[in-house]
Amino acid sequence: VGGTTIIQTAGSTFDTVLAVYRGTEFTSLIQVASNNDVSVSNKTSRVSFNATAGTTYHIVVDGFDTKARGNITL
């Protein structure tokens, strides 16, 4: 099913970076959405995008500056 999709890392225990890509081959993925912080005081991430039925999406969660670590909540 297609439609507006919202993904967030609220509840994660560290400063997250979130991205969504589409495609099937790692070398040719296309970025659909990304976010580093919801706001200056909220270090969780949130993206919204229009998903298309039948399309493969890959969700990537990382720590800010590759140093932040902890538990992820999506």
Position 26 scores a pLDDT of 87
Measure the CA–CA gap between 74 and 64, rounded to whole angstroms. Answer: 16
> 3-state class of 27 per DSSP?
helix
Position 13 scores a pLDDT of 92
Cα dihedral across residues 65, 70, 38, 35: positive or negative: positive
Measure the CA–CA gap between 38 and 2, rounded to whole angstroms. Answer: 24
Position 25 scores a pLDDT of 87
Position 40 scores a pLDDT of 87
- pLDDT mean values, one per 10 residues, the chain (74 residues): 94 94 92 93 94 95 87 94
